[in-house]
Amino acid sequence: MKYRYLVYHILFAAAAFCAQSPALEYSFQVPEMELHVTVNPDASVTMEYRMNLMCNEGARAIDIVDIGTPHRGYDTSNMKAYLNGEKLDIIRHSEVVHPGVEVPLTPPIDPGQSGQFEINLTMPDMVYQDTTRAENASLRITPTWFDGDYLTGSTD
């Protein structure tokens, strides 16, 4: 009887401790990020991101990356993503960034570890005729950024 009481007491204490444990949050650094943009003859652009991601100690592993896009007119079938040179198979509409895509990382980047993430995408209808000079065209790109609640450090 005493043994059963002791087991129940230990299980209750463990359950209470787990219930009070906060869920791990994302916390990461992006020490380096590059964006190369190529204008294509059809007025689309090819965007090539390369970024080093570092998961901070004690944080949730980086298991997904969200990338903002200039508009919603993209086609995920023409996108390719890589982690440390290995192709990632899933690219889908982001649940968090609008407009944007999300890429699950397999394997994830664990706390204290880093990885090089790359994504290549084509965005249609990005070059516009200049309304004041017919011989000119315009292009505007704002690179993706990350939520300051999760990002630490600086980026080169």
84-141 pLDDT, tens per residue?
A: 999 999 999 999 999 999 999 999 999 999 999 999 999 999 999 888 998 999 999 9
Query: pLDDT value at position 19?
Result: 45
Q: Are 100 and 143 in contact (CB under 8 A)?
A: no
Helix (H) or strand (E) holding 3: helix 2-20
The topology (CATH level 3) of 25-152 is Immunoglobulin-like (2.60.40)
- Report the side by side order of strands in the sheet with 114-123: 86-88, 80-83, 114-123, 45-55, 28-39, 151-152
CA–CA distances in Å: residue 52 to residues 49, 55, 65, 78, 104: 10, 10, 12, 23, 16
> Residue 22: its pLDDT value, please?
58
- According to the model, what pLDDT value does residue 24 have? 87
18: left (phi over 0), alpha (psi -120 to 50) or beta: alpha
Q: In terms of pLDDT, which residue wins out, 18 or 104?
A: 104
**49, 155 contact by CB (below 8 A):** no
